[in-house]
Amino acid sequence: MAIIRAKTPLRISFAGGGTDVPPYPERYGGCVLNATIDNFAWGSLRPRGDGRIRIEPADLDLEVEFKANEEVRLDGKLDLAKAAVKRLRALDSLGFEIFLHCDAPPGSGLGSSSALVVTLVGLVLEFKGSASEPYALAKLAYSIEREDLKISGGLQDQYAAAFGGFNFMEFDKDRVIVNPLRIRRATLNELEHNLLLCYTGTTRRSDHIIDDQTSRLISNEGDTLNGLQQQKELAVSMKNALLTGKLTNFGDLLHSAWFAKKRMSDRISSPVIDELYEEARKAGAIGGKITGAGGGGYMMFYCEFEKKHKVAARLRAMGTIPTEFAFEEDGLQTWRTNDSRLT
């Protein structure tokens, strides 16, 4: 009996985040510059023949089990997984068990929840013998999160997870366009050398921040609208800096993107985050920002390589966890392997 495996990369967003959150794309059109990294949401699906479905995440002391032919109750217990099973009509099967693990916790700012949903979609589609291309995968994952579960958020995370790589994404009322970027290998290597991720030690619920941003946009709050417009302009400028290999300019633009992002909602930063940013700059960081909606999770810094270790040391002394990473070119990957218990 074959087991189905899947892995989906997490992402970092450089600029444009927030312009992918309705109603901004419908009104003004949004764009985001992001890239996937070598942190993943992992999944495994083992078929079973007793007509039951079991879901177990490695990162939570919780599991659920129910009959494959019964109505799924979305009751707050592993609803992401249950909603994926329900949406993909996997309830008419002979049953299966799903095991999940993610390299970053929910609320990390790395798109981990959406990556997990894309992993679930990939597992169940492979189990059912259905193929799906990245646009359809991302749209399915978006529908599960934003429509079925009513979780506030944007569009970029699902598309980054499905496509992988460095992308410039465009959003409007009726479509999403993912533009893969052909960045020179030397530029990517230098960017990896000079970027640093830093876990602040706390996670956050992004929907509260996103809801605040959305309400400000709907009420035509000037700072929010201007901050989002700046995010769009910076996403274009940063894309051009990457394509032309002007990485010092990229770092300066990342600094500008952080201040533009903070204009979108006063919940995005905090005194602790502001202090981390200021100290990183004093130690040699050129620019940086929160990687997701804000309030906690991971921060990202661009440094001159010779000063990167000083920035990391200062951040570590402040109680955070700096870490290096590499870029990941591929999006969702699925494969099959033999059940070791039967060999």
- 31 contacts: CB under 8 Å, gap ≥ 6: 16, 19, 168, 169, 170, 171, 232, 235, 236
Q: Please give the Cα distance from 254 to 249 (Å, whole number).
A: 9
Tokens 């990473």, residue?
A: 325
140 close to 176: Cβ distance less than 8 angstroms:
no
CA atoms within 13 A on the CB side of 223: 10
121 close to 80: Cβ distance less than 8 angstroms:
no
9 close to 166: Cβ distance less than 8 angstroms:
no
Structure tokens, 219: 């009420």
- 176 contacts: CB under 8 Å, gap ≥ 6: 135, 138, 155, 159, 169, 170
Annotated catalytic residue 157: yes
The catalytic position among 20, 79, 103, 157 is: 157
Query: Does the CA dihedral 265-267-269-270 come out positive or negative?
Result: positive
263 close to 223: Cβ distance less than 8 angstroms:
yes
249, burial (CB in 10 Å: exposed 0-12, middle 13-18, buried 19+):
middle
Helix axes 271-283, 305-317, angle to 10 degrees: 140
Q: Please give the Cα distance from 197 to 153 (Å, whole number).
A: 22
Question: Residue 217's closest CA among 21, 29, 30, 32?
Answer: 21
In Å, how far from its chain's centre is CA 182?
A: 21
Q: Please give the Cα distance from 282 to 180 (Å, whole number).
A: 34
Catalytic residues: 157
